[in-house]
Amino acid sequence: MGSLPAQLDSPNQAMAFAVDTAGEFLDGTVPGCEADPFRAQWYVRPIIDRLGGIPALAPVRRGDWSSLRSRDTFRLQAGRSLTEADVDAALGYTAEAARAGDALADLRRTDPGLRLQVGMPTPFVVGFIAFEARMLRWRRGFPYYRPIADATVREIVRIHEALGDNVVFQLELAAETLLCAGTPAFLRQGPAALAGRAIARLVARAPYGSRFGVHLCFGSLDGKPVVAPRSTAPVVALANAIGRHWPAGRHLDFVHLPIGDGKRAPVRPRYYAPLARLELPVATRVIAGLALPKQPLEEARQALAAAEAAYGGRLDVASPCGLGRYATVDQARAAVARAVALAETASSPTRDDSRE
């Protein structure tokens, strides 16, 4: 999921890593090159850095990115506005996909089913990190959210025109996930519904037939999530809101749910009980983000079994967050190896998948 270690600094290396490490258990998508040295730890930082070069924006705060609070933020200068060209260039998704095109074409000669996965932080994530609460001042006409959302749609359209059905857009919802996780249970449906409707409006503007995945995320720095909820209830509430509002004619290929505290996935059945309430399109794969290489394998298998028992069927497996959270390629490879080991367990012919 998401970014890669900075040492994998070309699309060829990124795709080869995915194919070679996951092997037959690869889910059919490969990353392009999200291995920017800054993107590895802070997947959104290159976008924020490029926003800092827009003349219409003035700095509010400078940070060294040592923590979530220590980051660059901006405001729109009086009498200025964000142009399409400025915001499109800051996002940079089309350029990233173009760099990956030749490498994808080479791989598809031997595996024509592979698709390129293009990671995209949602407009809310980009806006909230770059402009903080200023983007939420509705009386001022959402001066930040709307240009970012419009630019995201333009980038999706351009990439889809170039790659068609050979691309999956992974929408990354760190801010939305943290907001739901930090809201008391009796109030959680409100922010979840707002996020679900915002995602639906964005996706509805994408080309008919385009493919998406949704990556829920608790945020992470040095392998430690910002929060570690006591159950899967927050991510289930958000996933259900997304599924409820998902627009027709666009594929929701997968929803990724982060699990654990960065070191271990719980084995307690109560932690996974809310998975029984998941309501997603029938064809949508549910990915349990519980592949943590520091957790003993047998314990991880127990965690996966508890999750599948609550869900009522098979789950895909992945790491809880982007592989760029790992400092080295070997550490990232160990995370994929753990996912493969869990997938092998799930694929055992002795297992009984009772989900209809």
CB 130: neighbour CB atoms within 10 A?
24
Per-residue confidence (pLDDT) for residue 348, from 0 to 100? 55
Mean pLDDT, residues 38-63 taken together: 80
- Please report how many Cα atoms fall inside a 13 Å half-sphere around the Cα of residue 1, on the Cβ side: 33
CB 301: neighbour CB atoms within 10 A?
16
Least confident of 133-147, 187-201, 228-242: 133-147
* Average pLDDT taken over every residue of the chain: 87
pLDDT tens for 253-268 read 999 999 988 889 999 9
Residue 330 vs residue 7, higher pLDDT: 330
Residue 133, pLDDT > 80, answer: no
- Residues 302, 266 contacting (CB under 8 angstroms): no
Percentage above 70 pLDDT, the chain: 89
- Residues 324, 285 contacting (CB under 8 angstroms): no
Per-residue confidence (pLDDT) for residue 356, from 0 to 100? 36
How far apart are the C-alpha atoms of 29 and 14, rounded to whole Å? 12
Per-residue confidence (pLDDT) for residue 225, from 0 to 100? 78
| CA nearest to 259, candidates 191, 310, 183 | 310
How far apart are the C-alpha atoms of 36 and 48, rounded to whole Å? 13
SS3 223: coil
Residue 39, pLDDT > 50, answer: no
Per-residue confidence (pLDDT) for residue 347, from 0 to 100? 57
Q: What is the largest CA-CA distance in the chain?
A: 67
Per-residue confidence (pLDDT) for residue 302, from 0 to 100? 97
Residue 354, pLDDT > 90, answer: no
Beta bridge partners of residue 58, listed in sequence order: 75
pLDDT tens for 74-110 read 988 888 888 899 999 999 999 989 989 889 999 998 8
Residue 143, pLDDT > 70, answer: no
Mean pLDDT, residues 9-20 taken together: 88
Residue 307, pLDDT > 60, answer: yes
CA angle 325, 146, 164 (to 5 degrees): 65
Residue 290 vs residue 351, higher pLDDT: 290
SS3 209: coil
DSSP state of 13: H
Mean pLDDT, residues 282-290 taken together: 95
Residue 40, pLDDT > 70, answer: no
Mean pLDDT, residues 293-314 taken together: 96
How far apart are the C-alpha atoms of 76 and 272, rounded to whole Å? 43
Per-residue confidence (pLDDT) for residue 37, from 0 to 100? 46
Mean pLDDT, residues 121-138 taken together: 75
Least confident of 45-54, 149-158, 180-189, 190-199: 45-54
Mention every residue, 6+ apart, whose C-beta is less than 8 A from residue 288.
257, 259, 304, 307, 315, 316, 317, 318
Task: Enter the pTM of the model.
Answer: 0.91
Mean pLDDT, residues 178-206 taken together: 96
The domains located in the chain, with CATH, are 11-346 (3.20.20.210)
For residue 272 the two structure tokens come to 């996974």
pLDDT tens for 200-255 read 999 999 999 999 999 999 977 666 778 889 999 999 999 999 999 999 999 999 99
What's the helix, strand, coil split of the chain in %, to 5?
50, 15, 35
Per-residue confidence (pLDDT) for residue 138, from 0 to 100? 42
DSSP state of 169: E
- Residues 304, 318 contacting (CB under 8 angstroms): no
How far apart are the C-alpha atoms of 194 and 327, rounded to whole Å? 35
Which stretches of the chain are DSSP H helices?
11-22, 37-41, 45-51, 84-91, 93-108, 123-131, 145-163, 174-181, 189-204, 233-245, 269-272, 297-311, 329-346
How far apart are the C-alpha atoms of 275 and 305, rounded to whole Å? 13
